[in-house]
Structures are given as C-alpha cells and as structure tokens.
Amino acid sequence: MEECQRLLSVCEKLQGRNKITPYLKAIILTALHTGLRKSNILGLRWDQVDLKARLITVPRTKNGEFHSIPISDVLLEELRKLLRQRLQGAEWVFAAPGKEAQVDLRKAWERAKREAGIDKGFRFHDLRHTFASHKIMAGVDLRTVQVLMGHKDISMTLRYSHLSPQHLHDVINRFPKEDTSKTEDKLAAGWQQPLDTK
C-alpha cells in the first residue's frame, strides 16, 4: 500500500506539470480500486458509470457480455470531482470534450514509476494483480474476488492471489481470541495427564 500511495502522490504532482496526461492520478486510482484492465479504463465512457448505483459496467468479451464492478468510496469521490470538471459534450471519462479517449500512457507511466522509486519492470497491468492481492490479504474470499475481477474460471483468480511474505508472517499467529486461552488450558491439561500404556 505504501508504494501505491507514493505512486499516486507522484502522479498528482506530475499531472500539474504534464498537460498531456491530466488524468494520470485518476486513471491509476481507478485501476487500484476496480482491478479493470487498462483498455477498459482508458476507454471508459460516462454512460458506463452510474454514480447513483455506484457501478461501472464495461464490455468483458467479444460475445456481448458485460462486467459490472462496484465503485469504492475513494473512487466515488474522484469520479464526482471529474464529473464536476466535465464540460458539456464530454464522452470519455478520462478525456476532455471533443478529444479522443487516451490510448497511450507509456511516457507518463514510466516517469511516475521512476519518480516514485518503483521498479521499472512493474507494468500497468500489475495494478490489476495488486487489486486482487490486496482484497485477498484483507480477508476477501476467492469467490468474491473472482466476481470482482470478472473471471469465469477461479483458476484465473488464483494467478493473482500471491500473498506477500510479510502478510504470511502477520497471519501465522492469528487465533480466535475467545478460544485461545481455553485451547491453551486444554493442551496444558493434556500434557499433564499420564499416557495410557494399556
């Protein structure tokens, strides 16, 4: 999470100096809070965003299926901000009125990573991996993450479910609080009883 916050902070500074990518922070925030693919984010239209129902609906496959993802509190605030800035006739969420949807973030993305001290091998698509991993580490079950990611097969979700070593260390000592003392008492009592040699 620390790296994500650092990246967003750098994006905010960059977009103040870089008129080519004025929506950089909002684009990355959308990726972190929805897990959507870059093509879906950059091609996002206002008619796909329902702020009242708090849903984003995007095409998922070529056969006409659609995928809906709830809008988080943080993303809702960001989208409302963009909507207030929207001028009449704007079709794309991340483009000015009369402009085409943004298709290339490479230069701005690489610069943001460099200034945030993030490994240059980190890809935009890895934000989708980050979304899934953060949900799993927060205790969200795999089936729910599968639905959020729009995966038909849960084996696809498992590819994104790698847990950080620190998270594994954090959870190894977790036990139900109300049962811990009772369990320890029972274990202690068990060790004190003589073994049955019959």
Q: What is the pLDDT of residues 90-119, one digit of tens each?
A: 788 988 666 777 767 888 889 899 989 999
Q: Look at the alpha carbons of 128, 130, 136, 139 in this order and tell me if their dihedral is positive or negative.
A: negative
pLDDT at 172 over 80: no
Known catalytic residue at 160: yes
Lowest mean pLDDT among 4-8, 143-147, 168-172, 182-186: 182-186
Which one of the listed residues 33, 67, 128, 134 is annotated catalytic? 128
Which one of the listed residues 25, 134, 135, 160 is annotated catalytic? 160
Q: Which helix (H) or strand (E) holds 15?
A: helix 2-17
Q: Is 164 buried (19+), middle (13-18) or exposed (0-12) by CB count in 10 A? A: exposed
Known catalytic residue at 151: yes
- Give 47-83 pLDDT, tens digit per residue: 999 999 999 999 875 556 788 999 999 999 999 998 8
Q: For the packed helices 126-137 and 24-34, what is the interaxial angle rounded to 10 degrees?
A: 50
Q: How many CB atoms lie under 10 A from the CB of residue 56?
A: 24
Which one of the listed residues 99, 114, 125, 182 is annotated catalytic? 125
For residue 12 the two structure tokens come to 């905010």
- Each as own residue / partner, the long-range contacts of residues 71-76 (CB below 8 Å, 24 or more positions apart, any chain) are 71/33, 71/34, 72/33, 74/29, 74/33, 75/29, 75/30, 75/33, 75/34, 76/51
Per-residue pLDDT band at 168 (split at 50, 70, 90): low
Nearest to 56 by CA among 82, 110, 93: 93
For residue 102 the two structure tokens come to 């943004």
Res 71: pLDDT: 95
Which one of the listed residues 52, 62, 169, 174 is annotated catalytic? 62
Residues 6+ apart with CB under 8 A from 183: 175
Known catalytic residue at 37: yes
Which one of the listed residues 33, 37, 113, 134 is annotated catalytic? 37
